């Protein structure tokens, strides 16, 4: 064979290989484009909730008898029993609050119409028809004058002696805002996410000009004033045996000139209880390590690697989050519909069991989980190991979902063994949602010190909301009393302590 022929044969082989590679790339490109379109369609037009509604009876289509029909039937029966216990919603209008002030307007008949048209005798009132209308009166500013009479001695030798009563402690030294106004400013920003410049415009409509910088100074003073209360909250939370932790972004200025820096708010709390926020300029795990120094118990977190170091301590048991596992399989459902649906359906069964024991005692929760949830949990784990053995593209969404679940499996199992634990850390995720909503309105913190103050006020306002406390009423009372309250009884001023004190007075 000549050199020319061998060269032509080599080129043909290379061309054929390139054509085969192009065909494979074209197929892969078409597959990825289809998955991308399906994902975008689901994002814009699909269900927003990750809790996919799958009939538990359909689970057998995916599990092929791995879970007995009796277990599935027991979950369904438990769910039906729980639904029967829930109070049915009444139709019609809801009653207006009885404690609201009422203005009574009487529309009476003229005197000449109070006579009977048949016998001309005066008619007697036998009752009245009352029509209730809910109206709104705009908020008003009130100027409270604190008058302190001054006294002077009239003796010729004592005319320089003047006395008056001491002025009570003011929330803002030499300032004019009262505790009610300060509570309103803080609640409006940190609970209702109303930026200070918008509040300034609202106040100007009432004839009161308060510059944004003035409102900012006031919130700084309130944050410093209430900081010891947040520290007392954190001391109590850290002394417990269970904490949920999560973090979220918040931008900060004045770190680098002309550039916004990405800061973070870390949330620490317990389900249905108080939550404490901490600010840091980075997402490094050392921030969580610093806060959790001395904590002993179960720490429930997501799969972020920043928690690896702190959860590696022997005194802390890491607990995983099933909601994050479910989220990965929801994202992979368009890629591997049958396999992903199996995982979603199994996780749904676990959540349905949790719904039936939401208000049960820890011992009852542990017993039900061992009796009903454990088999489903173990079956799901076996199936995930089978998926892992079958293999998939390392970069595919389904492979990532399986890898994430397998990596968290040793942490997820703890909720079956301890009744106090939750199946996920959604309680703490819900606590940081107001931060995400707030940063869309006020955008950023001006300084890192502002981030610390934001963490303080978020801690108090969010804790009030989680404990069903009116944030304004709480702040109004605490701001008025904190300056004179004994330091050794600061626990009484925390949202939980404040609520317990009110409940004991009402009892």
At 331-352, the pLDDT tens digits run 888 778 888 888 888 898 899 8
Whole-angstrom distance, CA of residue 349 vs CA of residue 337: 18
Whether residue 11 has pLDDT greater than 70: yes
- Nearest Cα neighbor of 250 from 402, 111, 436, 106 is 436
Residue 312 banded pLDDT, cuts 50, 70, 90 = confident
In this prediction, residue 114 carries a pLDDT of: 84
Whole-angstrom distance, CA of residue 193 vs CA of residue 437: 7
Concatenating the DSSP letter of every residue in 454-473 gives: HHHHHHHHHHHHHTT--HHH
Look-up: residue for tokens 């179960």?
Answer: 298
Look-up: residue for tokens 């049958």?
Answer: 338
| Lowest mean pLDDT across 5-14, 28-37, 466-475 | 28-37
pTM of the predicted structure, to 2 decimals: 0.79
Q: Which residues contact 411 (CB under 8 A, 6 or more apart)?
A: 318, 319, 320
Six token digits for residue 87: 């109070």
Q: With b meaning 16 or more CB within 10 Å and e meaning fewer, what string describes 213-249?
A: ebbbebbebbbebbbebbebbbebbbeeebbbbbbbe
Query: φ and ψ at 56, to 5 degrees?
Result: -55, -30
In this prediction, residue 173 carries a pLDDT of: 72
Look-up: residue for tokens 């900012």?
Answer: 216
What 3-state class would DSSP assign to 281? coil
Is residue 343 within 8 Å of residue 384, measured between CB atoms?
yes
Mean pLDDT of the chain, nearest integer: 83
81 to 66, 276, 357: CA distances (angstroms): 25, 36, 11
Residue 303 banded pLDDT, cuts 50, 70, 90 = confident
Whether residue 86 has pLDDT greater than 80: no
Six token digits for residue 442: 């006020």
Whole-angstrom distance, CA of residue 235 vs CA of residue 276: 10
Give the number of other Cβ atoms within 10 Å of residue 148's Cβ: 9
Six token digits for residue 273: 């209880």
Is residue 206 within 8 Å of residue 191, measured between CB atoms?
no
Give CA 9 to chain center in angstroms: 67
**Interstrand relation of 162-164 and 150-152 (parallel, antiparallel or unpaired):** antiparallel
């Amino acid at each position: 064979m000549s050199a020319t022929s061998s060269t032509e044969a080599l080129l043909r082989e290379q061309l054929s290989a390139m054509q085969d590679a192009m065909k494979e790339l074209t197929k892969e490109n078409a597959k990825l484009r289809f998955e991308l379109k399906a994902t975008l369609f689901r994002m814009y037009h699909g269900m927003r909730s990750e809790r996919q509604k799958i009939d538990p009876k359909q689970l057998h289509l995916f599990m092929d008898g791995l879970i007995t029909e009796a277990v599935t039937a027991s979950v369904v029966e438990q769910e039906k029993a729980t639904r029967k216990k829930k109070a049915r919603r009444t139709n019609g209008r809801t009653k207006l609050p009885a404690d609201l002030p009422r203005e009574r307007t009487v529309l009476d008949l003229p005197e000449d119409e109070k006579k009977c048209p048949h016998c001309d005798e005066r008619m007697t009132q036998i009752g009245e028809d009352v029509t209730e209308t809910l109206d709104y009166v705009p908020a008003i500013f009130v100027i409270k004058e604190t008058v302190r009479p001054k006294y002077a001695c009239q003796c010729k030798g004592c005319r320089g002696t003047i006395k008056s009563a001491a002025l009570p402690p003011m929330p803002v030294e030499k300032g004019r805002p009262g505790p009610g106004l300060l509570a309103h400013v803080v609640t409006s920003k940190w609970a209702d996410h109303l930026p200070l410049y918008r509040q300034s415009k609202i106040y100007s409509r009432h004839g009161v000009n308060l510059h944004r910088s003035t409102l900012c100074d006031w919130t700084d003073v309130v944050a410093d004033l209430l900081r010891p209360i947040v520290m007392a909250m954190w001391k109590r939370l850290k002394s417990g045996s269970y904490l949920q932790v999560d973090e979220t972004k918040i931008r900060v200025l004045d770190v680098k000139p002309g550039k916004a820096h990405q800061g973070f708010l870390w949330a620490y709390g317990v389900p249905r209880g108080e939550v404490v926020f901490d600010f840091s300029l980075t997402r490094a795990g050392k921030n969580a390590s610093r806060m959790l120094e001395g904590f002993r118990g179960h720490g429930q977190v997501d799969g972020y690697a920043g928690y690896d170091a702190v959860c590696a301590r022997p005194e802390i048991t890491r607990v995983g989050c099933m909601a994050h596992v479910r989220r990965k399989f929801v994202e992979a459902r368009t890629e591997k519909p049958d396999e992903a649906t199996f995982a979603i359906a199994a996780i749904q069964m676990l959540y349905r069991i949790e719904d039936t024991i939401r208000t049960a005692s820890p011992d009852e929760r542990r017993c039900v989980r061992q009796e009903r949830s454990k088999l489903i949990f173990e079956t799901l784990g076996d199936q995930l190991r089978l998926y892992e053995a079958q293999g998939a593209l390392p970069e595919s969404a389904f492979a990532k979902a399986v890898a994430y679940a397998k990596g968290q499996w040793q942490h997820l199992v703890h909720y079956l063994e301890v009744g106090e634990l939750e199946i996920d850390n959604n309680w703490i995720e819900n606590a940081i949602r107001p931060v995400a909503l707030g940063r869309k309105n006020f955008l950023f913190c001006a300084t890192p010190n502002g981030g610390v103050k934001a963490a303080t006020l978020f801690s108090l306002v969010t804790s009030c909301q989680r404990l069903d406390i009116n944030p304004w009423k709480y702040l109004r009372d605490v701001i008025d009393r904190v300056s004179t309250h004994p330091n050794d009884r600061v626990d009484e001023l925390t949202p939980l302590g404040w609520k317990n004190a009110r409940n004991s007075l009402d009892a």
